[in-house]
Amino acid sequence: MKKMKTRKIIYWPLILTITFVMLGFLPLNFFVSNAEAIPPFARKYRTSCSTCHSIIFKRVAFGEAFRRNGYRLPVDDQLAVKEEPVKLGVEAWKKVWPEGIWPGAIPATVPIGFYVHMRGTWEESEKGEDRVDWTFDTPHEVEMLFGGTLGENVSFFGEWIAFEKGKTDEGRIGTFVIQYNDLFGLEDVLNVRFGRMDPAALSGFNAFKEDNRLTLSHYLPNDYRVVPSSDTVPGSGASINYKWRYRDKQAGIELNGIMFDRLEYIAGLVNGNNSVRDDNDYKDWYYRLSYKFFGETMTMKDAPEGELKIADNLVDNTVTIGTHGYFGKTALSAGALSWNNEFQRFGVDMRAQYQGAELGAAYIWGTDDDPGGPSGMAPIDNVDSASWMVEASYFIFPWLAPVIRYEEVDYDDSFSNDVERVTFNISALHTANLRWTAEYVYYPDDDDGRDTFKINLLTAF
């Protein structure tokens, strides 16, 4: 049941102090030369991270075009490659196909890179609570990244999570995707991804794609679950294992493409339970449509030939609008009880950029038919939820960008507590592959969560 909201005072002195410390200290380190860009793509082209990213991992327009194009440059890719791939066959084999094997290629070197989060975290305590407020979370996460191309129009990308705080110490796969581009000769229009991936209902809109955010905290519309893990079935006391949320990886297949250089479509079919083994015979599916006005095109095939990147990666004066839907069914359980919950999500979003400034907003409406227990047992069926967010960022310098975001999740009046929070973040590059971040997450109401402050060093090599 919902509780009355009680406002509290925000810790402005802490936020301002950390901001001024970072602004005063960091420039002392910025007159060093840029390091080599993160592997494996940067080594392949001998270019800086800033070719595709503003502040890692946030991609600029050129980086998005590179990703969509199967990790190839939009123009003159072969001329820009500095590490020639190992060819598995010769061009003449194409002429004898299907009597011979179509020629392919593999990367010349093992295409592996790493990134590591080193973090210090302060978390608000309740009055009278005996707990540690400040801890060194080092490392917070260690991941191995790998990716490359496998000949014409075929590419791969993956991540192996070696360590993550709060998870099992055993390594596990995060993402692994094989991508075919330009099927049937339809350049940019028809691509297919197959593997374990982010459901791209939101990924086409890179302002709210999880692996493209500047903040340490996840986007609340991507992160919330209709039934928190602490909820139980009325009368039984058993906890409900509601797991689905937008940001979890899914195993499946996806079609996507770009038409007229500015209209992107995405359609996917996935298991829907964050596993390579499905828990029911129903497959989740999703779609997305987005259109980019003004600025660089989505394909960037009109970029000047022979140039590795646009003149100023931070400048793309544009407006992008999008809409998406997700339709799923998940198997839930609580003790000896088990049941299915069908759910839908519909959303709209907008992103505007001008010079170094960016403003984004998204609204997602959802409905779940039986999230809190089997029909007839739960006090409420057909629970509606709504989540929305507004985020603004600005590049003061090419290496320094503050971010502020407000976001909410609202439920039916008698179902669960609404959540609202504000995130203050400032990120700065020491070098192209060393990023410092200070972030304060503020919950206006104590029942929504604990205020936290984090200092994070991200390094990629």
Percentage with pLDDT > 90 across the chain: 41
pLDDT per position as a tens digit, 341-350: 899 999 999 9
Please give the full DSSP string across 27-49, using - where no structure is assigned: GGGTTSPPPPPPTTHHHHHT--G
d(CA 59, CA 175): 18
377 close to 364: Cβ distance less than 8 angstroms = no
Calculate mean pLDDT across residues 203-209.
55
Q: For the beta carbon of residue 344, count every other beta carbon within 10 angstroms.
A: 13
- Give the pLDDT score at 173: 85
Amino acid in position 343: F
d(CA 356, CA 116): 27
> Which residues are CB-neighbours of 97 under 8 A, at least 6 positions away?
none
Q: What are phi and psi of 451, to 5 degrees?
A: -60, 140
- Give the pLDDT score at 133: 86
Does residue 36 surpass a pLDDT of 80?
Answer: no
Q: Facing residues of 361 across strands?
A: 350, 390
Percentage with pLDDT > 70 across the chain: 81
Calculate mean pLDDT across residues 132-158.
90
CATH architecture type of domain 12-460: Beta Barrel (2.40)
d(CA 121, CA 134): 6
Q: Which of 407, 405, 370 is nearest to 387 (CA)?
A: 407
Confidence class for position 34, pLDDT limits 50, 70, 90: very low
d(CA 272, CA 423): 29
Confidence class for position 447, pLDDT limits 50, 70, 90: confident
- Give the pLDDT score at 280: 76
Looking at per-residue pLDDT, the higher value among 159 and 167 belongs to: 159
Confidence class for position 446, pLDDT limits 50, 70, 90: confident
DSSP 210: G
Confidence class for position 407, pLDDT limits 50, 70, 90: very high
Calculate mean pLDDT across residues 309-333.
83
Q: What are phi and psi of 166, to 5 degrees?
A: 85, -5
- Token look-up 């960016």 returns 358
Q: What are phi and psi of 413, to 5 degrees?
A: -50, -40
Tokens of 305: 């030939």
- Token look-up 């079919």 returns 269
Tokens of 198: 């982010």
426 close to 19: Cβ distance less than 8 angstroms = yes
Backbone conformation region of residue 185, classed left if phi is above 0, alpha if psi is from -120 to 50, else beta: left
Please report which helix (H) or strand (E) contains residue 265, including its range.
strand 263-270
pLDDT per position as a tens digit, 222-240: 888 887 656 666 666 677 7
Mean pLDDT is lowest, of 15-24, 47-56, 339-348, 354-363, for 15-24
> Which residues are CB-neighbours of 58 under 8 A, at least 6 positions away?
212, 213, 214
With b for 16 or more beta-carbon neighbours within 10 A and e for fewer, the 94-112 pattern comes to eeeeeeeeebbbebeeebe
- Predicted TM-score (pTM) of the model is 0.86
